[in-house]
Amino acid sequence: MDTVVIGAGWAGLGVSYELAQRGIRHRVFERARIGQTWRTQRWDSFRLNTTTADTLMPGERYTGPDPDGALTHGEFIALLEDYVRRHNLPVEEDRTVTALSAGQENGFVVEVAGEAVRARNVVIASGSLNRPLPRPAWAASLPVPQVDGCDYRSADGLPAGPVLVVGSGQSGAQIAYDLAIAGRPVYLSTGRVGRLLRRYRGKDTLRWLDDSGFMDVKRADLIAAAPDGRLPARGVIGATRTLSLQFLSAEGVRLTGRLTGFSDNRMLTFSDDVVANLLLGNEASARVKDWIDSYIDRSGIDAPPAEDDPAETVAPRLPDPPILELDVSGLGCIVWCTGFRGDYSYLGVAGALDEKGQPVHVDGVGAVPGLFFAGLDFGTKRKSGTIRAVNEESALFATLIAERLAGG
Whether 384 contacts 397, CB under 8 Å? no
Whether 106 contacts 370, CB under 8 Å? yes
The side-by-side arrangement of strands in the sheet containing 186-189 is 146-148, 333-336, 163-166, 186-189, 254-256
Whether 230 contacts 223, CB under 8 Å? yes
pLDDT at 82 over 90: yes
- Give the integer Cα–Cα distance in Å for 282 and 262: 30
Whether 233 contacts 164, CB under 8 Å? no
Measured in degrees and rounded to the nearest 5, phi and psi for residue 363 equal 55, 40
pLDDT at 199 over 70: yes
For 83, 168, 254, 282, 354, the CA distances from 162, given in Å and listed in that order, are 42, 17, 10, 28, 40
User: For position 291, what pLDDT does the model report?
Assistant: 97
Reduce the DSSP state of residue 67 to 3 states and report it.
coil
User: For position 105, what pLDDT does the model report?
Assistant: 76
β-bridge pairing 91-92 and 259-263: unpaired
Whether 31 contacts 408, CB under 8 Å? no
Beta bridge mates, 131: 341
User: For position 135, what pLDDT does the model report?
Assistant: 97
User: For position 232, what pLDDT does the model report?
Assistant: 86
Average pLDDT over residues 300-325: 97
Helices (H), 60-154: 73-87
pLDDT (tens digit per residue) in 101-132: 998 777 999 999 889 999 999 999 999 989 99
Reduce the DSSP state of residue 55 to 3 states and report it.
coil
pLDDT band at 383; cut points 50, 70, 90 = very high
* Structural Rg of the chain based on CA atoms: 22
Torsion of CA 47, 170, 291, 68, to 10 degrees: 10
Whether 175 contacts 253, CB under 8 Å? no
pLDDT (tens digit per residue) in 174-197: 999 999 999 999 999 999 999 999
pLDDT band at 336; cut points 50, 70, 90 = very high
Q: What percent of the chain has pLDDT over 90?
A: 95
User: For position 343, what pLDDT does the model report?
Assistant: 95
The answer to whether the Cα torsion of 62, 127, 378, 73 is positive or negative is positive
pLDDT (tens digit per residue) in 210-248: 999 999 999 999 999 988 888 888 999 999 999 999 999
User: For position 408, what pLDDT does the model report?
Assistant: 59
Cβ within 8 Å of residue 224, ≥6 positions away:
none
Average pLDDT over residues 258-272: 96
- Give the integer Cα–Cα distance in Å for 46 and 379: 24
User: For position 150, what pLDDT does the model report?
Assistant: 96
- Give the integer Cα–Cα distance in Å for 174 and 168: 9
Average pLDDT over residues 47-73: 96
**Mean pLDDT for the chain overall:** 96
pLDDT band at 352; cut points 50, 70, 90 = very high
Residue bearing the bigger pLDDT, 91 or 265? 91
Task: Count helices and strands (H / E) in the chain.
Answer: 10, 22
Beta bridge mates, 132: 340
pLDDT (tens digit per residue) in 27-55: 999 999 999 999 999 999 999 999 999 99
Average pLDDT over residues 4-15: 98
Burial class (CB in 10 A: 0-12, 13-18, 19+), 331: buried
pLDDT band at 272; cut points 50, 70, 90 = very high
Report the half-sphere exposure of 120 (CA within 13 A, side-chain side).
15
Average pLDDT over residues 375-388: 95
pLDDT at 169 over 80: yes
User: For position 161, what pLDDT does the model report?
Assistant: 97
- Give the integer Cα–Cα distance in Å for 246 and 319: 12
User: For position 325, what pLDDT does the model report?
Assistant: 97
- Give the integer Cα–Cα distance in Å for 86 and 89: 8
Range with the poorest average pLDDT among 52-56, 95-99, 100-104, 299-303 = 100-104
